Structure 1
Amino acid sequence: MAKGTGTSANRRTDIVAAAIEVFAEIGYYRATTAQVAERANISQPYVYRFFTKESLLVEALEVSWQRIMQAFGRVIASEKPEGLEEGLIQAYEAIMESHRSEILLQMQAQTIQDQPVREVMRQGMRSVSELVERAFVEAGAAEASRRTSDFMARGLLCNVSMALDMPSLLDKGHRR
């Protein structure tokens, strides 16, 4: 449960963290800002001081994409070319383990048709894909575009495997 931290910036962070958990557990459409407020140990009007329900979802998704970009950026900066793909896989697996609710939230958001949500999802996928492809190109990987597509597709399969608790989906070629 989120703890009160005092400053408005910290309270915003608490609200977003609570929203990620609530939306992932209950589903965006079923969840209410009252449930988010309760999880963050604040009043519902205080949530509305910062967010509408939709803007809260958008910010939560932005947080999740930033986490992936930062993790991948660290791998790219530190890995030798031959260890790049394995390093990216390990970084994503670590995020899936430590921030499962963010991944589940991204999966839900793929089906939401509201334009701001669709745009943050498109931008997140685009940014991650471009970062990975650029890293493959700079590492001298053959067929960087195809490898990026395969990498992204395997990531989505990892998400489905986790969400459905079906690790057997990954036993068929998850790793190269």
Structure 2
Amino acid sequence: MTKNSPTSVNRRVDIVSAAIEVFAEIGYYRATTAKVAERAQISQPYVFRFFSTKEALLQEALEVSWTRILEAFRAVIETVAPDQLEKELVDAYIHIMKSYQNETLLQMQAQTIKEDMIAEVMQKGFRDVHQVVLEAFKRSGFEKPYERTLIFLARGMLCNISMALSVPELMLVDE
């Protein structure tokens, strides 16, 4: 089996998925590649075939989570009328949070990890999301697009806290 065979690619995805679960459940610092391997139902040396360090595995897990958000937002931006843009972006994010809760929890944890590689992937993720939303708000003619983007991102962070702490009333809005 070569490194790029379909089975190899699938195992890499399985390892990242297992890592997301393990990191979200017990935290990056308590997690081990042995626990990730156990969750993925493979041997620990097989994890190292794809990832040289636990940090590299976390980096890829975070990149997967940021890519999911960016792809969802871009799909909304391409298909939604300007007057529905913000609502549909919020709905897309809520769907991601519900469907991929561990990824959200992982991103929340990663904000506190000081390793340069992890800080860089988090900075890039936030910057990319900020840029995509800002450009969409500008193209849609939103007044004060920078402020609207800031409020949108702040709302997303509050969504994360609401979900992580099981405090849904934080997200109540006036109808």
User: How would you bin the TM-score normalised by the shorter chain?
Assistant: over 0.9
Q: Which residue of structure 2 lines up, in the alignment, with residue 37 of structure 1?
A: 37
CA deviation after TM superposition for structure 1 residue 87, in Å: 0.4
Residue 70 (structure 1) aligned with residue 74 (structure 2): no
Local SS of the residue matching 1:7: helix
Rounded Cα–Cα distance in structure 1 between residues aligned with 2:170 and 2:91: 17
Provide the alpha-carbon RMSD of the alignment. Answer: 1.3
* Distance change in 2, residues 1:78/1:29 (3 Å): same
CA deviation after TM superposition for structure 1 residue 169, in Å: 1.2
Q: Which residue of structure 2 lines up, in the alignment, with residue 130 of structure 1?
A: 131
What are the equivalent positions in structure 2 for 1:146-165 lying under 5 Å apart?
A: 146-165=147-166
Rounded Cα–Cα distance in structure 2 between residues aligned with 1:91 and 1:126: 18
Letter paired with 1:41: Q
Q: Which runs of 4+ in 1 moved over 2 A?
A: none
CA deviation after TM superposition for structure 1 residue 67, in Å: 0.1
Q: Which residue of structure 1 lines up, in the alignment, with residue 13 of structure 2?
A: 13
CA deviation after TM superposition for structure 1 residue 9, in Å: 1.1
Residue 167 (structure 1) aligned with residue 136 (structure 2): no
What are the equivalent positions in structure 2 for 1:48-59 lying under 5 Å apart?
A: 48-51=48-51, 52-59=53-60
Letter paired with 1:21: E
Q: Which residue of structure 2 lines up, in the alignment, with residue 98 of structure 1?
A: 99
Rounded Cα–Cα distance in structure 2 between residues aligned with 1:134 and 1:6: 37
Letter paired with 1:79: V
Unaligned ranges ≥5, structure 2:
none
Rounded Cα–Cα distance in structure 1 between residues aligned with 2:18 and 2:6: 16
Q: Which residue of structure 2 lines up, in the alignment, with residue 26 of structure 1?
A: 26
Local SS of the residue matching 2:143: coil
Q: Which residue of structure 2 lines up, in the alignment, with residue 87 of structure 1?
A: 88
CA deviation after TM superposition for structure 1 residue 6, in Å: 6.3
Unaligned ranges ≥5, structure 1:
none
Q: Which residue of structure 2 lines up, in the alignment, with residue 47 of structure 1?
A: 47
Rounded Cα–Cα distance in structure 1 between residues aligned with 2:157 and 2:54: 26
Q: Which residue of structure 1 lines up, in the alignment, with residue 62 of structure 2?
A: 61
Letter paired with 2:96: I
State percent identity of aligned pairs. Answer: 59
Say which is worse superposed, 7-16 or 101-110, in terms of deviation.
7-16
CA deviation after TM superposition for structure 1 residue 30, in Å: 0.5
Q: Structure 1 length as normaliser, TM-score?
A: 0.94
1:42-96 CA-to-partner distances (Å, cap 9, x unmatched) read: 0000001111100000000000000000000000000000000000000000000
